Amino acid sequence: MSELLQFLLSGVTVGAVYALVALGFTIIYNASDVVNFAQGEFVMLGGMTTVFVHAAGAPLPLAVLAAIVLTAALGVAMNKLAIEPARGAPVVSLVIITIGASIFIRGAAQLIFDKQIHSFPAFSGDDPIRIMGATILPQSLWVIGGAVAVFIGLWLFFTRTLLGRAVLATSNNRLAAQLVGINTTFVMTLSFALSAGIGALAGVLVTPITLTSYDVGLGLALKGFAAAMLGGMGNPKGALVGGLALGLLEGLTAGYISSQYKDAAAFIVILAVLFFLPQGLFGRKSTDRV
């Protein structure tokens, strides 16, 4: 019993990490139909910037703030320099552009920072919390709390605010959105800033658990991407559920089947879900225009 609970807690911890990364994908996808493969680099930048600003003497909260603001600024720059100019390009070109951007950011990070592995202290100490014979670290609660808070924030944003609806409108039909007076350029800028900021926040929260280095982005992006797809791209609920489901799947597979093939189990389930629900669990139905 306590074993099962530990597998579940392990799964939730990992799943919350994936969910936070996946949530970052949703906004940009909603605004522009672009899947941003550089999302993992935002997560890396959040962690690494905090480490280095903190090491330079700034208190941790200030370092965190600096990391989020800087990363958000970089997200805006990426939109202006790489995404806006490529408007209307086919999916494969956009995939290459965002992968190119991620390679660029990784290359810059290894020059500006270093190639070592880093961490900073957990926010609420390292003493595990015991629940019926199983344990979880306080930092995991921070990550889970962060994922839930971001989810609620996004859900409110997209359903309750004019701006959030403007983002959705831009995604559905850019021209129509412009015609009804939505400043679509601003919407795009905002979504990149938000996505990058959420990515950086994710990086800050997970670093005490996963540690960080200049090349953690790709692995996180792939898992986050898979989680977002599993849940259904563009839906915050999908990102949250997809991330947690992926994490639980890995934890339970490692616990009961084989730790060697836990990633395989995750991808097999994703393939199976996409086979029966080609839009993911909560994805939007779309029809082709002729």
Partner 1 sequence: MKTFLTTTALVALGLAGPALAEIKIGASLSATGPAAFLGDPELKTLELLVEELNAKGGINGEPVELIAYDDNGDPNKARTFATRLVEDDEVVAIIGGTTTGTTMSILSVAEEAEIPFISLAGAIDIIDPVKPFTFKTPHTDRMACQKIFEDMQKRGIASIGMISGTDGFGASMQAQCKSVVGDYGITIVADETYDPKDADMTAQLTKIKGTEGVQAVLNPGFGQGPSIVTRNYKQLAIDLPFYQSHGVASDGFIQLAGTDAAEGVRLPGTALLVADLLAEDDPQKPVVAAYKAAFEAKTGTPVGTFGGYAHDAFLIMTDAIARAGSAEPAAIRDAIEATSGLAGTTGIYTFSPEDHLGLDLSAFRMLEIKDGKWTLVE
Partner 2 sequence: MRLTQKSATLLALAVIVALAPLFFPSSFYYRVGALIFVNGLAVTGIVILTGWAGQISLGHAGFAGIGAYACALAPVHLGLHPAGAVLLGAAISAVLAWLVGRPILRLKGYYLAVASLGMGILISMVLNNERDLTRGPDGIDVPDLGLRGALKAAGLDLSNGQFWYFFCGIALLLGAWLALNLFNSPTGRALRALHGSEIAARTVGIDVARLKLQAFVISAVYASVSGSLLALQNKFITPDVAGFMHSVEMVTMAVLGGVGSVAGAIFGAAVLTLLPQVLTVFAEYEQLVLGTVMVLVMIFLREGVVPSILRKIRGAGE
Binding stretches for partner 2 (CB under 8 A): 35, 81-82, 85-86, 89, 91-97, 99-108, 110-111, 218, 222, 225-226, 229, 233, 260-261, 263-264, 267-268, 270-271, 274-275, 278-280, 288, 290
Strands (DSSP E) along 4-74, which ranges? none
Stretch that binds partner 1, among 25-33, 180-188, 203-211, 231-239 (CB under 8 A): 203-211
Dihedral angle, C-alpha 117, 121, 122, 127, nearest 10 °: 110
Which one, 260 or 286, has the nearer CB to partner 1?
260
Q: Does the footprint of partner 1 cover residue 254 (CB under 8 A)?
A: yes
Stretch that binds partner 1, among 65-73, 81-89, 160-168, 251-259 (CB under 8 A): 251-259
CA dist 228 and 233 (Å) reads 5
> Shortest CA distance to 83 belongs to which of 36, 27, 40, 25?
36
> According to CB under 8 A, which residues from 120 to 139 bind partner 1?
126, 128, 134-135, 137
In the chain, the amino acid numbered 221 is A
Residue 283 DSSP label: P
166's tokens: 């403007």
> Please, which residues bridge with residue 212 across strands?
118
Which one, 136 or 169, has the nearer CB to partner 1?
136
Q: Does the footprint of partner 1 cover residue 265 (CB under 8 A)?
A: no
Burial 106-138 (b: 16+ CB within 10 A, else e): beebeeebeeeebebebeeeeeeeeeeebbbbe
Site string for partner 1, 161-200 (x = CB under 8 A): ----------------------------------------
Q: Does the footprint of partner 1 cover residue 216 (CB under 8 A)?
A: yes
CB of 1 to partner 1, least distance (A): 11
Among 35, 201, 206, 239, binds partner 1 (CB under 8 A): 206
> Please, which residues bridge with residue 136 across strands?
129
CB of 149 to partner 1, least distance (A): 19
CA dist 138 and 131 (Å) reads 12
CA dist 216 and 43 (Å) reads 8
Among 103, 157, 263, 269, binds partner 1 (CB under 8 A): 263
Burial 218-256 (b: 16+ CB within 10 A, else e): bebbbbbbbbbbbbbbbbbebbbbbbbbbbbbbbbbbbe
115 binds, among partner 2, partner 1, none (CB under 5 to 8 A by kind): partner 1
Site string for partner 1, 73-112 (x = CB under 8 A): -------------------------------------x--
CA dist 11 and 190 (Å) reads 32
**Contact footprint for partner 1 (CB under 8 A):** 3, 6-7, 9-11, 13-14, 17, 110, 114-119, 126, 128, 134-135, 137, 206, 209-211, 213, 215-216, 219-220, 250-252, 254-255, 259-260, 262-263
